[in-house]
Amino acid sequence: MTKAAVLRALDGPLAVEEIELNPTGPGQVRVRLAAAGVCHSDLSLANGTLRQPFPAVLGHEGAGVVLEVGEGVTGLAAGDHVVLNWAPPCRACWFCEHGEPYLCVHADDARSVPFATSAGEPVYAGLGTGAFATGTVVGAHACIPVPADIPLAEAALLGCAVLTGVGAVTNAARVQTGQTVAVIGLGGVGLAAIQGARLAGASAIIAVDPAPAKEELARSLGATHFLAPHAGLAKEIRALTGGLGTDHAIECVGRGETIRAAWSSTRRGGTATVLGLGSAQDPVTFNALEVAFFARTIVGCMYGSTDPAIDVPILLEHYRAGRLNLAALVSDEVDLAGVGEAFSRMRAGQGARTLVRFA
């Protein structure tokens, strides 16, 4: 039997229940989870900001060990360590063929198909992954192999926070050595974005978060300044950068207000990269003069514009060389029953990543 944190309805409580995973079908892989990070997108799926069928097992930032491979699966075997990819590319659609696998038209396919049952009722996997469970069944293309000597609890963080945060800086924004970067919102993704900016050789990294408790950690990961968000934030950032604004701003919140602040914080000709997924009811407004006048670029970014099959091994090289601190992203560790507490902390803007560890 598999234990899972099951969400029965929108905004409902999470209850640890036994579920029965579907048999491992052709092209599928059964994975025993070792750890899963709790991401803000899990909360967005739970509260209806992002679409989710119920009952559901959320969790999409997971790593574990392959238990069984289905018919036709090559390149993976029982015992392999893997990180899960919540937007696995088909490798055949227009986007996949044009180097944009993070926009694959089939990336969401697994989300609308049940992966398990509970008391005979079908259960859906959040983002097709269902990592808040001791086990899951996913497509083989959703499994990225990782060497067995990498701790799985740290590898799990690669699956969403680190691919998204580092990828936004290196793949989407393409920050260059010596450039200045503002990072707005310091959850797990924002803390990864700070490290991405440091890896890219940014000359100044201005971290922005309302929680003063995050300053020390942000600075230890590479931030050169720490600011609290307020109405005059863009002005304060311009003052710190010789009156110009930063070359880049990375928005890791997904709110109209912070997207607007990110854009206004960059210099004329600068780039604001938005990875936060917000609500369809939350507009961002620009006046008709400023768009051309400031000649800024706004870049939208899904999954860090990464191809996890390529980018996970690159991130692991940084990790092995001591250039990427994965453990630093984790502020709390819980068991499956603690996912609800992690949601409460996210609602309150407290802490960074909560990591669920499976016994």
Residue 247 φ then ψ, to 5°: -65, -35
Question: Quick check: 205 binds Zn ion (CB under 5 A)?
Answer: no
Question: Quick check: 14 binds Zn ion (CB under 5 A)?
Answer: no
Complex with Zn ion: residue 94 or 286, whichever CB lies closer: 94
How far apart are CB 300 and Zn ion at their closest, in Å?
16
Q: Which stretch binds Zn ion (CB under 5 A): 48-56, 83-91, 224-232, 239-247?
A: 83-91
How far apart are CB 261 and Zn ion at their closest, in Å?
22
Q: Which stretch binds Zn ion (CB under 5 A): 22-30, 96-104, 211-219, 258-266?
A: 96-104
Question: Quick check: 306 binds Zn ion (CB under 5 A)?
Answer: no
How far apart are CB 105 and Zn ion at their closest, in Å?
6
CA 318 and chain centroid, separation? 18
Complex with Zn ion: residue 160 or 352, whichever CB lies closer: 160
| Of residues 146, 97, 122, 119, the one with CA closest to residue 17 | 119
DSSP state letter for 225:
E
Cα separation, 338 vs 115, in Å, equals: 23
How far apart are CB 41 and Zn ion at their closest, in Å?
4
Cα separation, 125 vs 84, in Å, equals: 13
Residues 141-170 that bind Zn ion (CB under 5 A): 160
Complex with Zn ion: residue 247 or 307, whichever CB lies closer: 307
Q: Please count the CA atoms within 13 angstroms of the CA of 290 that sit on its side-chain side.
A: 11
Question: Quick check: 96 binds Zn ion (CB under 5 A)?
Answer: yes
Question: Quick check: 90 binds Zn ion (CB under 5 A)?
Answer: yes
Q: Which stretch binds Zn ion (CB under 5 A): 15-23, 103-111, 140-148, 250-258?
A: 103-111
Question: Quick check: 58 binds Zn ion (CB under 5 A)?
Answer: no
Complex with Zn ion: residue 56 or 206, whichever CB lies closer: 56
Buried residues in 289-307 as b, exposed as e (16+ CB within 10 A): eeeeebebebbebbbbbbb
Label the pairing between strands 225-227 and 204-208: parallel
Residue among 15, 16, 43, 93 that touches Zn ion (CB under 5 A)? 93
Cα separation, 93 vs 105, in Å, equals: 7
How far apart are CB 207 and Zn ion at their closest, in Å?
20
| Size, binding site for Zn ion by CB under 5 A | 8
Question: Quick check: 309 binds Zn ion (CB under 5 A)?
Answer: no
Question: Quick check: 182 binds Zn ion (CB under 5 A)?
Answer: no
Residue 331 φ then ψ, to 5°: -100, -25
Complex with Zn ion: residue 50 or 204, whichever CB lies closer: 50
Cα separation, 173 vs 181, in Å, equals: 10
Residue among 104, 166, 227, 253 that touches Zn ion (CB under 5 A)? 104
Question: Quick check: 192 binds Zn ion (CB under 5 A)?
Answer: no
Tokens 């967005």 sit on residue: 44
How far apart are CB 280 and Zn ion at their closest, in Å?
18
How far apart are CB 51 and Zn ion at their closest, in Å?
15
Complex with Zn ion: residue 108 or 236, whichever CB lies closer: 108
Q: Which residue spans within 98-216 are E strands per DSSP?
A: 116-118, 121-125, 135-139, 143-146, 180-184, 204-208
Complex with Zn ion: residue 50 or 96, whichever CB lies closer: 96
SS3 of residue 178 by DSSP: coil
The backbone region for 9, taken as left when phi is positive above 0, alpha when psi lies in -120 to 50, beta otherwise, is beta
Residues 17-56 that bind Zn ion (CB under 5 A): 39, 41
Strand partners, 353: 330
SS3 of residue 145 by DSSP: strand
Q: Which residue spans within 8-162 are E strands per DSSP?
A: 14-21, 28-38, 56-57, 61-69, 81-84, 116-118, 121-125, 135-139, 143-146
Complex with Zn ion: residue 223 or 346, whichever CB lies closer: 346
Question: Quick check: 191 binds Zn ion (CB under 5 A)?
Answer: no
Residues that bind Zn ion (CB under 5 A): 39, 41, 89-90, 93, 96, 104, 160
